[in-house]
Amino acid sequence: MSKLNGKNSNHDTISKEVLRVINEVQEPLETKEVEEAVKKKIRSITRTKIFYRLMVLHGKNLVHGKFVGPGKGVWIWWKCEVKK
């Protein structure tokens, strides 16, 4: 069973798209960059929903994330490397 599968399958479409965006790039992305890329596929999505999915994926160890900058700052996200 996939780590994305759970009680709420509504999250799968958004989470899969967020994961796809992060895994396709070689460099870390800010939340805003993830949001812009996801909105190309899912137009009616909010930044809050994307950030929530990012935090869930981070909690499940499917992506890495780090808070950077002073004050409100920004989060950067990058893919988890698969260990062989």
- Residue 33 belongs to domain with CATH number: 1.10.10.10
| pLDDT tens figures, 53-67 | 999 999 999 999 999
| pLDDT tens figures, 13-55 | 999 999 999 999 999 999 999 999 999 999 999 999 999 999 9
The β-bridge partners of 29 are 77
Sign of the Cα pseudo-torsion (20, 80, 67, 49, in order): positive
Q: Does residue 17 form part of some domain?
A: yes
Least Cα distance to 42 among 68, 71, 21 occurs for 21
The β-bridge partners of 48 are none
Tokens of 66: 């780090």
Q: Does residue 49 form part of some domain?
A: yes
Amino acid occupying residue 27: E
Q: Does residue 1 form part of some domain?
A: no
β strands within the chain, DSSP E: 29-30, 63-68, 74-79
Q: What is the pTM of this model?
A: 0.82
Domain enclosing residue 45, as ranges: 10-79
